[in-house]
Amino acid sequence: MLGMNADQQILLTRKVMHHLQEWGLSAEQQIAVLNLPDDTKSRRLRAYHENTPFPDTAEVEYRVIRLLGIIEALRTSYPGNPLMASHWIKTPHKRFDNRTPLHIMLQDGGDGVTAVLAELDCTYAWDLCGSQTG
């Protein structure tokens, strides 16, 4: 995943799982947001908190890359209060037709995760629309 060695993959997996848990996502929500295989059991998530990297699939990598962007954007948006990330993820927003970012990610899949990242990161949104400099 992402051209990383096994130890780096495990650290990345732990980081993402930590934030999903910090946001208050249920096991089923974590599985859905990450686009883990359909047969993933909630007890399997424990291994991702410890020493098992995420599955090496294009679908999971797609989500992980964008989730890392969301995590970073929330960290820079609320540097003094990390609890705001959970609040933001679960608060309805006008730009999402009064749906929560979590709802967008769960209902709209990969496009939803991308939409949430674009809302938080204007440079990402700029790149998505094909804007170019100079």
Q: What is the mean pLDDT of each run of 10 residues along the chain (134 residues)?
A: 86 96 95 92 90 93 96 93 92 95 96 94 64 52
pLDDT at site 100: 97
12-21 in b/e form (b: 16+ CB < 10 A) is bbbebbebbe
Q: How far apart are CA 69 and CA 129, in angstroms?
A: 17
